[in-house]
Amino acid sequence: MQNQSSTGVEIMTRKQYSIELEIFESGCPYHQKGEKLAYPADKAKICPWLLDSANSMIRILECDGTLPWTYSGTPFEKVINKNGVTTEFVRCPDPTSAGLVLKIIRTELPPKETTTIVS
Whole-number pLDDT of residue 42? 97
The structural domains of the chain, with segments of one domain joined by +, span: 18-111
pLDDT at 48: 93
The contacts of residue 9 (CB under 8 Å, 6+ apart) are 115, 116, 117, 118
Whole-model pTM: value is 0.82
Low-confidence ranges of the chain (pLDDT < 70): 1-12, 113-119
Q: What is the pLDDT of residue 108?
A: 96
Confidence at residue 23, expressed as pLDDT on a 0 to 100 scale: 98
**Whats the size of the chain, residue-wise?**
119
CA distances from 18 to 31, 61, 63, 64 (A): 21, 10, 12, 12
Residues 47-78 pLDDT 10s:
999 999 999 999 999 999 999 899 999 999 99
Q: Residue 96's pLDDT is what?
A: 84
